[in-house]
Amino acid sequence: MKLTNNTILITGGTSGIGLALAERLDEADNQIIILGRNQTKLTQVQQRHPKFATYQADVSRPETLAALPSWLKTHYPKLNIVINSAGTMRAFSLFDESVSVNALVSDIQTNLIGTIAVDKLLINQLRTQPEALIVNISSGLANLGVATHPSYSASKAGVHMFTDALHEQLQSIGATQVHVMELVPPMVAETNLESVSSTTAPGNMKLPDLITAALKGMNQDKKRVNPGLSKGMRLAGKIAPDPAEHRLATTMIPQYFPNGLI
């Protein structure tokens, strides 16, 4: 997949991995469209990058995406790359009575339901292009669940499974011009998903290095990119998931819940 002269929609593109990808891809003469839920942040990004187009919607609420396909067909009919980068990550104690069910499933609404909704709404438009690409961003925690983030881990495992299903359905109908890639980041503290994360933490990957790995994978039509520690997490998830998840739990529960889960 060539990474020049494309029309690219990036969800969650006002910060973190989404914005970093947008800025790097902008250097290669691509038309960038940023989708986000916060209009103030969209305006700030557009002020810094006047060539970017923006669209306000909240992927965790699929009804806000209803007009997106027709808007794209009207204004950006050559859309051929979609990157699902919108994401949230929250630590929860399942025993905390102040945590509502809505809060508990919020990561699933954004990370999984949002990804499914965007892909479903745009897949047929992408099929009309000579060559197209969908990038769904999961996590190393799709391969090893972590006790501190039960909903996040579940959501990213779902993204992994959904991305595989999408790839196989496209293959089944012969739509091989639509590439599908799962990007599986390890911890990247610069995304600021959590204040607990530190750029000096063991296993942390620098954001520019992740972007370089992602673009290389996109260019080479990789089905899955496991950069940094994610490669080891995928292997551990295959050969010894139970002890690996237990080690993660014993390390991270005291870090996130120093006063205990109860």
Catalytic residue numbers read 152
* Amino acid, res. 245: E
- Beta strand 53-56 with 31-36 is parallel
Start-end of H helices in 77-149: 101-104, 106-107, 114-127
Residue pair 150/261 in contact (Cβ under 8 Å)? The answer is no
- Residue 217 in tokens: 């994978």
Bridge-partner residues for 180, per DSSP?
A: 134
What one-character DSSP code corresponds to residue 13?
T
CA distance 143 to 50: 38
H-helix or E-strand spanning residue 239: helix 230-239
- CA-CA distance, 141 to 156, in Å (whole number)? 7
Considering Cα of 158, then 189, then 25, then 78, what sign does the dihedral take?
positive
The half-sphere exposure of 134 on its side-chain side, counting CA atoms within 13 A, is 28
Q: Which of 6, 253, 35 is nearest to 147 (CA)?
A: 253
Residues 6+ apart with CB under 8 A from 127: 175, 177, 178
